[in-house]
Amino acid sequence: MDVYELGEGEPEVAVVGAIHGDEPCGARAVRRLRDADLDIERPVRLIVANEPALDAEERYLDADLNRSFPGDPDADALEERLAAELLDALDGCSTLAIHSTQSYAEPFAVVDSMDEVARAVAPHLPVDAVIQTDAFTEGRLIEHPHTLEVEAGLQGSDGAADNAYWLARAFLAATGVVPAPGAESVVDAGGREDVAVFRLRDRIPKPDAETYEVFARNFERVAAGEAFAAAGEEQLRADEPFYPVLLSPYGYRDQFGYVADRVGTIE
C-alpha cells in the first residue's frame, strides 16, 4: 500500500485508488493529485491500495479486496491483510474510493446509505446518479461510515483516468481540502441539481451460455415484458418495470448486473 499525505496535521479526508488492480484509473488520479501542486487548505491522505495487483494488472491476487473488509492483519490472503491495513489508514476520514466498470462510460457514485456525508458531497461531484446499495455491501469499503465510491468510467480507459482525477478534485473541494474552483472549471463548485438516486433491489442472474448480450441501457427504465438481455438464444424479459444498474454482458461471472428502483433525487 502506497500512502501520501498533503498538508499539515492529521488528515480527516482521504482518496483511495486501485482497490482493484485491473482498475488503474484511481492510482493514476492519486498520483496526479500528489504531483499537482495543489493549494491545500485541509490535510488529506492519498492511497494506492493494492499495488501488487496493480503491478500484475489483475483484479486481485488472493481475494477480492472490496469483499474483504474489515480484513484480518494475520490472514494468509494478501487482500485480507490489506483490508485491515487500509481501514486503519482511513480511520476518522471521510473517504472517496475510486473504481471503474465494464458497463458504463459516465461517472456515477455508490453509497451504502444516504448519510450526511453522501448528502453533502454527492451533489458537488460531476456525476448524474447516486446508487444506494443497501443489502449488497457485505465486505465492501462503503460499509464503513462516511465513505463514497465512484465509478469513473470504462475500465482501463484514458477517459476513466481523467474522470477519476476530476471526481477526486471535486471531492477535495467539497470537503474543504482545496479551494472551490470558479464556475467555469470542470469541477462543479456550485453543486448540481436533481442528482438521481437509485436503490438496488436484486441481482440479475446470468444463465449458463456461450455468449451474452445486453439490450437495455443503464439507468434507463425497462418496461414490463421488455427484453433486456440474452444468454445464448434465450432472451431475458422484465417481469416488472425496473432500472438496470451495472448491466453488462461480461462484467460479472454469474450475473448481468442489478435491478434498481429510482427513489428520488438529491437537490
Q: What is the pLDDT of residues 46-71, one digit of tens each?
A: 999 999 999 999 999 999 999 999 99
* 136 in any annotated domain: yes
Average of per-residue pLDDT across 93-108: 94
Q: Provide the pLDDT for residue 119.
A: 80
The confidence band for 120, taking pLDDT boundaries of 50, 70 and 90, is confident
Encode pLDDT of 196-238 as tens digits. Answer: 899 999 999 999 999 999 999 999 999 999 999 999 999 999 9
Q: Are residues 250 and 152 in the same domain?
A: no
Q: Are strands 108-111 and 129-132 parallel, antiparallel or unpaired?
A: parallel
The neighbour count for residue 215, using CB atoms within 10 Å, is 14
Global confidence as pTM: 0.91
Considering the domain architecture, whether residues 43 and 159 belong to the same structural domain is answered as: yes
Helix orientation angle between 158-174 and 25-34, rounded to the nearest 10 degrees: 50
Residue 20's pLDDT band (boundaries 50, 70, 90)? very high
Count up the domains in the chain and report the number.
2
242 and 121 together in one domain: no
Same domain, 161 and 232: no
pLDDT in tens, 165-187: 999 999 999 999 999 765 444 44
End of a domain among 157, 175, 193? 175
The Cα 65–Cα 1 span in angstroms is: 12
Report residue 106's pLDDT band, with 50, 70 and 90 as the boundaries. very high
Kindly state whether residue 199 falls inside one of the protein's structural domains: no
What is the extent of the structural domain holding 45?
2-175
Per-residue pLDDT reduced to its tens digit, 158-167: 999 999 999 9
The last residue of one of the domains, among 160, 175, 190, is: 175
Half-sphere exposure in the Cβ direction for 186 (13 Å, CA): 10
The answer to the question of residue 180 being in a domain is no
Is 58 within a domain?
yes
- 160 shares a domain with 48: yes
What confidence score (pLDDT) does residue 194 get?
Answer: 74
Sheet order of strands, 212-214 included: 212-214, 227-231, 234-237
Q: Are residues 36 and 124 in the same domain?
A: yes
